[in-house]
Structure 1
Amino acid sequence: MEIYKEFSFDSAHFLPNVPEGHKCKNMHGHTYKLKVFIQGKPDEHYGWIMDFKELKDAIAPIIDTLDHKLINDVPGLQNPTAENITIWIWNTLKPVLPKLSRIELYETPTTGVIYSGE
């Protein structure tokens, strides 16, 4: 069984490694949507896999790091493609959320990345 919680943040970035003339080489912004999935069995006493408040608290430092920031300035994200941002989020979350099963990061409502730590 999996539970999930959605978050959003607004950030600017530019992609330094794309060819000259590519529109993403210029600074631009997105309203990102992040879905974080936790896998497990419901606790017999509490009846939940994880308290949603604990999940929110675990994600808060990541949102604080990215929200209303230039993502290129975040250590480890100098080439902040959606894929690299997703991997960075995963690597930041996995030590504090061992039951993390996947994350989905939407750069736009129709474009995103699904990552399971592979």
Structure 2
Amino acid sequence: MSPRSARLARLSRSVTFSACHRLHSKSLSDEENLKLFGKCNNPNGHGHNYKGRKVISILAPAGFVVVTVLSLQEAIMEPLDHKNLDKDVPYFSEVVSTTENIAVFIWDSLQKLLPQGILYKVEVQETEQNVVVYKGEETIVK
């Protein structure tokens, strides 16, 4: 490979956002929700300081840092930071606001803002122990 050939690199950018939510499925009874989600089903919700990270694949570094900073602001910070996910984000009015679903929401939001095919993965860290990685996979059919 010649020195001028482009090499695939992955650029990672992270942000921290704070949000509250309640884990509660409308398709379950209150008792079933409490059993499934425990203290995370508190009617008044609970909060987290999430860490969101996106990783994009690039062939050349020029210009993409600006794109990645702007897309994080629009896809993560504006819709999610200091929000009640269940009440302030229309997506979560019908989708349980689990970390997995937050990762999917961020993926879908970034896909609309970035050039096609460069988003490699999204990571959302809810706690030191819980991190979700999403790479745009389809759902598993059983």
| TM band (smaller chain) | 0.7 to 0.9
Equivalences, count: 113
Q: Which amino acid in the other structure matches residue 77 of structure 1?
A: F
Name structure 1 gaps, 5 residues minimum: 43-47
Using structure 1 for the length normalisation, give the TM-score: 0.88
Structure-2 separation of matches of 1:113 and 1:20: 23
Structure-2 separation of matches of 1:15 and 1:76: 14
Larger radius of gyration: 2
Name structure 2 gaps, 5 residues minimum: 1-8, 26-31, 138-142
Identity score, percent: 31
| Shift, 1:53, TM fit | 2.2
**Contact 1:38–1:100, Cα closer than 8 Å, also in 2:** yes
Structure-2 separation of matches of 1:101 and 1:9: 21
| Shift, 1:49, TM fit | 5.8
Match runs of 1:77-96 below 5 Å? 77-78=92-93, 79-96=96-113
Bigger strand fraction? 1
Bigger helix fraction? 2
In structure 2, the partner of 1:45 is none
Question: SS at 1:15's partner residue?
Answer: coil
Please give the root-mean-square deviation of Cα atoms over the aligned residues, in Å.
1.5
Structure 1 pair 110/49, CA: closer, same or farther in 2 (3 Å)?
Answer: farther
In structure 2, the partner of 1:116 is 135
